[in-house]
Structure 1
């Protein structure tokens, strides 16, 4: 739990900075500035321990995603920055957390507790030698005199026309004063400040949850052997029955999956021929089968290797069957990857195809950890801990790539082999407008070749409509960029602006 005075001061200071940086601004350099300042504040106030592995790893992830927002400038980078803030806050609450799940729980609880502690700290803060709440409570003695004064003013106004006019003038001036305040009050600034205050409270005023920390401390990577008070013969009989059931199930599952994998290896890997139809269902079927098989493998392994079967002397055969099934699932994952490559080859790149490739990398690591669980008697906690960490690394790593540019460059460069959907490509972000901006002659050439290679019943965007859309978007982007100031600056859009201005000269 952070020192409340230090957290309170930090939250107020950075809420003001947040307002100055983000009021009526787009995201950009301002995000990197405030997050860099926050990290420096944590280092200066010794809230970051540079000897702590978790502080270094997740603090770096937080900073890397802030850089990605400025130098990649994608919605994904912004989401990953928010995710890294969420995780890093949990790490700051409990730096020795073994699992990201623990950090996520602590961080989630802190969203609410931090606001409560800020309000409590505000009302218990000193003001004029006393606490704010005490000052407000003591001020109640003036309430009744003020009511009495107001009543008598009303009586005097009704009995004296001259006094009534004088009071009316005074009230009119007071009304003008309040009108001046509220008419000129920028409510968007108030909202920005309150939003910034809520975020800064969450980040700087941190609260622990003892039960969550205790659960994390007691968690182990290895399965613990449970010694039950029951006859040895009964225990052995129960394990043997469970063992026979597991062997039967895994033999059947391996047999079925072997048939599926043999078909995929022959048909998808080495003998695939495209029949001219859309391959969306071709990829989705494999993905759904993979997901079902992976989830089943996890559940089966967690069930049979949840306890003493890990230590049973006759478990070698079922372990071998488990490892074979995990290997077959890895082959299934590769088959889905090959399907995805076929899809990309004929229908170019798209975000979901890239996401599927990243997911398959994660699946292969996931299967590797399941195999380790079987071989080295690892616990379910180990599976969650190891896979959550790798998933976090994959998410953060993916944020540093300019996927819009990679996709657009690939799609237009490979138009002779792949289908170029002009409608889809026309909606990419402003930062790739120079790559999307194609002369009509080039677009017509692409369209002519596409019509000879691909035959679909659906109506597609014509080159003329695409070109007109790009011309409109270029004008809108240039106007929008020129209205921004340095706080909203980002590298990809600044480069796009310079390239478009050069083309227009």
Structure 2
């Protein structure tokens, strides 16, 4: 029954994707994937974590249907690898899930059907299937039958005419090859596997630091003194920077775009440098036994202060970026700044928790990669082109109209609506009309596999 399910899934895979662009088909394949995984891993689907990751995977597929963006497609692939990796080992970190998911997708069938002989260190096929015998059963009779057909054609004109009337043009070799690829993919993932060295190491590595055997009070005292001096100076430096930065914001509320751009970009560079250096220094200072030194309370308070000052630096950059958006509109780069700031604050807070709760670097890696995954999935749910266009028309003091035209088709219908609601020049109207007509034609030529949400909106008009 499970083999039949894989075969049906392979046929659906080719039906959905052969000679088709991405649309409804990616969401439908996500459903097929969930069905195949559930049929072969029913116990795993009793876990709330599996249900959550399955829901996120389906949500990213649905996002592709609603707004066919590159970000939503990438999120769907990442969610796919995450779910496959989770089924291979529930307790592993999310970055190990990605590794296991990718490995399973590429080589799962080979991993399950070929084993490593520990004695000879040679790869040997498992004995439950005799592939050589099956190859003989298929190819030897086929070759001999074809040979005799060729011989009989020359010996009998009636038989020759009969063979000539056989038409195999209905067979689409490319479609069959894609179906074969689909079968191979589903065969790989139906029983997810794990990369044993990486997974085992991850499971054996905890989040908490342990005191080492080299615990030395004199050395720790010196390290504590050095840390106090260094982080105190860095606190003073960032305070001076924040004072000048806040002064700039309060005294320059209405400035030129070029100056604003320079300030935001330089601020981001300073932020990147300060956060990276902050985390590296804090990880080095609190890398080991100093966490257990009884006289480190002052150092910890200085570290916490530095982290909070870095959070304030993030806020000043966010304010400047917000002013930039208010005056000159939304763009992907400005949204990217906000996403980076969100991840930066997450990194700073997890670093604070790491120091306070005496965690190790693996704790930071596990928590921050999970945060990055959540941000990716949430961001893929948003039709950014639509919201960029809507904001810039309704709220921005000035905007780059050509930038909106160059965005994907996700804002085309909104641009068409703006022609009737907002006064525009003839050149702008012409560009919108050209983009709209191209998009409507593209939607009208979509097959059912390529359907998008905008197909439904156009049909209802």
* TM-superposition CA deviations, 1:241-279 (whole Å, max 9, x none): 222222222122112111111111121256433135363
Structure 1 residues without counterparts, runs of 5 or longer: 154-162, 445-462
Cα 1:53–1:223, aligned 2, differ >3 Å: closer, same or farther?
Answer: farther
Q: CA deviation at 1:484?
A: 1.9
User: C-alpha separation between the residues in 2 aligned to 1:265 and 1:296?
Assistant: 22
Match of 2:347 among 353, 362, 366: 366
Cα 1:254–1:465, aligned 2, differ >3 Å: closer, same or farther?
Answer: same
* TM-superposition CA deviations, 1:67-112 (whole Å, max 9, x none): 2122343221111111100111110111222x21221222233233
Match of 1:113 among 98, 101, 107: 107
Q: CA deviation at 1:50?
A: 4.3
The residue matched to 1:279 in structure 2 has which SS?
Answer: helix
1:479 corresponds to 2:441: yes
Match of 2:427 among 442, 465, 474: 465
Q: CA deviation at 1:11?
A: 3.9
- Of the two, which has the highest radius of gyration? 1
Match of 2:313 among 312, 332, 336: 332
Query: What's the counterpart of residue 426 of structure 1?
Result: 405
Query: What's the counterpart of residue 293 of structure 2?
Result: 312
User: C-alpha separation between the residues in 2 aligned to 1:482 and 1:278?
Assistant: 46
What's the TM-score, normalizing by structure 2?
0.86
Cα 1:441–1:333, aligned 2, differ >3 Å: closer, same or farther?
Answer: closer
1:273 corresponds to 2:271: no
Is this contact kept in 1: 2:40–2:191, CA < 8 A? no
Q: CA deviation at 1:326?
A: 0.6
Greater shift, 395-404 or 87-96, is seen at 395-404
1:78 corresponds to 2:76: no
Is this contact kept in 2: 1:287–1:336, CA < 8 A? yes
1:193 corresponds to 2:150: no
Greater shift, 389-398 or 332-341, is seen at 389-398
Q: CA deviation at 1:471?
A: 1.8
Greater shift, 272-281 or 324-333, is seen at 272-281
Cα 1:44–1:278, aligned 2, differ >3 Å: closer, same or farther?
Answer: same
Is this contact kept in 2: 1:29–1:486, CA < 8 A? yes
Is this contact kept in 1: 2:85–2:194, CA < 8 A? no
User: C-alpha separation between the residues in 1 aligned to 2:419 and 2:253?
Assistant: 36
Cα 1:39–1:138, aligned 2, differ >3 Å: closer, same or farther?
Answer: closer
User: C-alpha separation between the residues in 2 aligned to 1:221 and 1:63?
Assistant: 31
Is this contact kept in 2: 1:440–1:467, CA < 8 A? no
Structure 2 residues without counterparts, runs of 5 or longer: 116-124
1:341 corresponds to 2:322: yes
Q: CA deviation at 1:222?
A: 1.4
Between the two proteins, the alignment pairs up a number of residues equal to 451
Q: CA deviation at 1:40?
A: 3.3
1:403 corresponds to 2:384: yes
What's the TM-score, normalizing by structure 1?
0.79
User: C-alpha separation between the residues in 2 aligned to 1:347 and 1:48?
Assistant: 53
Query: What's the counterpart of residue 38 of structure 2?
Result: 43
Match of 1:95 among 81, 90, 105: 90
Q: CA deviation at 1:487?
A: 2.7
The alignment yields a C-alpha RMSD, in angstroms, of 3.4
User: C-alpha separation between the residues in 2 aligned to 1:77 and 1:135?
Assistant: 42
Query: What's the counterpart of residue 120 of structure 2?
Result: none
Query: What's the counterpart of residue 246 of structure 1?
Result: 227
User: C-alpha separation between the residues in 2 aligned to 1:138 and 1:194?
Assistant: 20
Match of 1:263 among 233, 236, 244: 244
Cα 1:169–1:60, aligned 2, differ >3 Å: closer, same or farther?
Answer: same
The residue matched to 2:110 in structure 1 has which SS?
Answer: helix
User: C-alpha separation between the residues in 1 aligned to 2:381 and 2:110?
Assistant: 36
User: C-alpha separation between the residues in 1 aligned to 2:188 and 2:147?
Assistant: 44
User: C-alpha separation between the residues in 1 aligned to 2:142 and 2:78?
Assistant: 48
Cα 1:67–1:131, aligned 2, differ >3 Å: closer, same or farther?
Answer: same
Mapping of residues 130-141 of structure 1, within 5 Å: 131-137=130-136
Query: What's the counterpart of residue 207 of structure 1?
Result: 193
User: C-alpha separation between the residues in 2 aligned to 1:332 and 1:362?
Assistant: 14
Cα 1:147–1:198, aligned 2, differ >3 Å: closer, same or farther?
Answer: closer
Query: What's the counterpart of residue 449 of structure 1?
Result: none
User: C-alpha separation between the residues in 2 aligned to 1:19 and 1:30?
Assistant: 10
